[in-house]
Amino acid sequence: MALQCGIVGLPNVGKSTLFNCLSNAKAQSANFPFCTIEPNVGVITVPDHRLNELAEIVNPQRVVPTTVEIVDIAGLVKGASKGEGLGNKFLANIRETDAIIHVLRCFDDDNVVHVDGSVNPIRDKEIIDAELQLKDLETVESRLARVQKQAQTGGDKQAKRLVDVLLQYKEVLEQGKSARVVTFDSKEDQRLAKDLYLLTNKPVLYVCNVDEASAVSGNQYVEQVRAAVQDESADILVVAAKIESEIAELETYEERQMFLEEVGLTESGVARLIRTAYHLLDLQTYFTCGVQEVRAWTFGRGWKAPQCAGVIHTDFEKGFIRAEVIKYDDYVRLGSEAACREAGKIGIEGKEYVVQDGDILHFRFNV
């Protein structure tokens, strides 16, 4: 599944530092690789303790984790929505992503000059938000002009419904708010809204880049961000990019864990960032287990068994017969597929089964 999270932020907020940490395999663990599709796109493995536990039980020939794509989006200046600076490139790149990781500077350091002369994460957020909102407003008004004519002259019910959706978006965008604050009850309206591909309707994670002293509990800047985004249904993650860059330089997993303990952390911010980005895309994981391979597979929340089978191979979906399902907790507790079978812990599910995060699956198919 080629779904992507795009990292955005103003200059000198730590965006590139974080991306470089993501690109360094040592920032994760010894067996979590990184590869580059092009200079600013990284395919990064998702840390998952369940995969490691299953591998310890099965002792397979190889272990394959699941991945998420992270894109380092081009820089932005005021006026990007009108094509200023790298504005058009920025907006084109962000439109191609499925979710946004918005990095905000939440630390004081006289040696790191802020592009606007002072540290103010709310102002920084509003600069990028405003450019995206202006572009979305342009999109909405252009679409509205066309659809209103259809609704008035043709009596098109679908067009009238779309007009209502567009007007709701127009109202909030004109108020300087993002499209994601608008919610729709009906599935039809939700579909129409999704098909507009508005920039500010993408799910967003705000990453507060703090200093080392604030890495565990945050600071006043983080609290300002929390207050500012409380109506957005957005997640917030506190990360100290400077610490992450130091962790990335350490040679062994043991050294990295010792460093984390010294600063009061149980896990690196980069690992938390990758995992949160994965969930931000509404992705989940199921597993296949065998002596040749223990593997994590990515699927979308709410997918049924045949769709999930298709992730492995399209033939699995076309010829789907049934899925044998073992719950992760049962597998770990009993210690093997044979033990689960003997205990009656293998479920036989058909085409309507909605796969759950952590399921261990074996598909039966015929082509």
For residues 357 and 285, is the Cβ–Cβ distance under 8 A? yes
Structure tokens at 187: 């599935």
> Across the chain, which distance is largest between two alpha carbons, in Å?
70
SS3 159: helix
15 is in an annotated binding site: yes
Structure tokens at 35: 């590869």
| Rounded Cα–Cα distance for residues 205 and 269 (Å) | 14
13 is in an annotated binding site: yes
Question: Cα Rg for the chain, rounded, in angstroms?
Answer: 23
C-alpha torsion 309→315→320→323, nearest 10: -30
16 is in an annotated binding site: yes
42 is in an annotated binding site: no
Listed in sequence order, the residues at least 6 apart from 233 whose beta carbon sits closer than 8 Å to its beta carbon are 180, 181
Q: How far is CA 219 from CA 23, 50, 226, 243, 270, in A?
A: 27, 33, 11, 16, 19
17 is in an annotated binding site: yes
| Rounded Cα–Cα distance for residues 14 and 8 (Å) | 10
Alpha helices in the chain (DSSP H): 15-22, 49-58, 87-95, 121-153, 157-174, 187-194, 220-228, 241-249, 253-262, 269-280, 305-312, 314-318, 328-334, 337-342
Structure tokens at 273: 């960032």
Angle at 274 between CA 305 and CA 73, to 5 degrees: 110
| Rounded Cα–Cα distance for residues 303 and 129 (Å) | 32
The binding site for ATP comprises 12-17
The binding site comprises 12-17
